[in-house]
Amino acid sequence: MQTPDISRAKSAELFEKAKQYFPGGVNSPVRAFKSVYGTPLFIERGDKAHLWDADGNQFIDFCCSWGPLILGHNNDQVREAVAAQLSKGLSFGAPTALENELAELIIENNKYIEKIRFVSSGTEAVMSAIRLARGFTKRDKIIKFDGCYHGHSDSLLVKAGSGLVTFGETSSAGVPKAFADETIVIELNDTAALEAAFAEFKGQVAAVIIEGIPANNGLLLQTKEYMHFLREITKTNGTMLILDEVITGFRLGFEGAAAYYDIQPDIITYGKIIGGGMPVGAYGASRELMACISPDGAVYQAGTLSGNPVAMAAGIAALKILAQKDFYTNLNAKTATFVQDIRSYIAEKGYQVQLFSVASIFWFAFTEQQDIKKASEINPASMDAYKIMHRELLNRGVYFGPSGYEVGFISEAHTESDLDTAKKHIFEALDIVFNG
């Protein structure tokens, strides 16, 4: 049975005020709730696996700040590390020992990179990785995949056109056509398209970039065979393979998708999870490649807030927990039980919905198709069902991302009670989606 809509009066009031200051009333587009029902929720606080909005509504949170809060909200160790650093200063624009400590923690526990450079966001990390690849190879073109998101830098904010191999078309006003012309966009899981691209643009492709596991446009799980093919074809053609692990890095495991697929990328990018959820990113590679970065080499990249001490302190506290024995084993087992219980309910009811999952990431797809590996295999009409589920879950105190293309995340802070409550409400929401 449908539940009454929760009160969003204060959130609605704040949203109307925000429209006076920000485009669309938000500082990042998906927050506007245009893909789901109702007014955006203005969040007041978070603790463990829970959020509270401006109207006092409480939610079990499966968005986790879009993934990086693998320890949940307001983790004690992270909060205390941040508070300790705050008393010493917020920003210096100069080196600190904290940068060394976080870099050592990452590199000593990750065999896929030898040197690292901290930046302030995942977008900046990817932008810098592309520049490094171009600087090292002395080539300009890059290959990306339809359905993969790599931030909003000009070279990557493109979409696929028609045909097996195509130059990207700008998907945002303000992106010069000349930039898009250097980006070749092909479908995922299509070895023929990759071969055709390298044949057509022989000796011109600086890098192929792919999300560790595409998780910004559904959860598009790729096979190990395909990822190894991607590694081999890039090696053969002298092209850098960039693994964008802004979502999968330290989420699938401490070594991320590189270890999951057992491949050695040329460059790896990471996001806010390495800063305990604070604004930070990084890119890493071999010593040889990273020697190309200024001030050692000719590829320029800089940032006043790079290695920000507050973010470094938060990251050290967070990654020390992630590096503990059995952290990922326990988190992934908890997620597997949650996912399997929901799948069993779906099967019992015969509902036309799939629940895809890897490690502590999951995604609902309202389809009969049991294997989705390409963005083109997602039916846009299926998002109508997600809108209903999202509204019903919000009304029951469960918070998912405000788009059916977004994945969900489970954190260490989700208790058995949290997950049991959420499952009960997911069952109720699915009943309404399919039975009205």
Active-site amino acid positions = 149, 244, 272
Beta strand 398-399 pairing with 205-211: unpaired
Beta strand 58-61 pairing with 50-53: antiparallel
Residue 13 to residue 22: CA distance in whole angstroms: 14
Q: What is the DSSP string of 342-374?
A: HHHHHHHHT-S-EEEEETTEEEEE-SS-S---S
Residue 261 to residue 152: CA distance in whole angstroms: 26
Q: How many CB atoms lie within 10 A of CB 134?
A: 19
| Run of H or E residues at 118 | strand 115-119
Q: How many CB atoms lie within 10 A of CB 178?
A: 8
| Run of H or E residues at 430 | helix 416-435
Asked if residue 2 lies in contact with residue 428, where contact means CB atoms within 8 angstroms, the answer is no
CA distances from 370 to 155, 270, 349, 384 (A): 33, 30, 16, 19
Alpha helices in 378-415 (DSSP H): 383-395
Q: For 196-199, which contacts have Cβ atoms below 8 Å and span 24 or more sequence positions?
A: 196/164, 196/165, 197/143, 197/165, 198/233, 198/237, 198/239
Residue 309 to residue 138: CA distance in whole angstroms: 35
Beta strand 398-399 pairing with 58-61: parallel
Tokens encoding 33: 């709730």
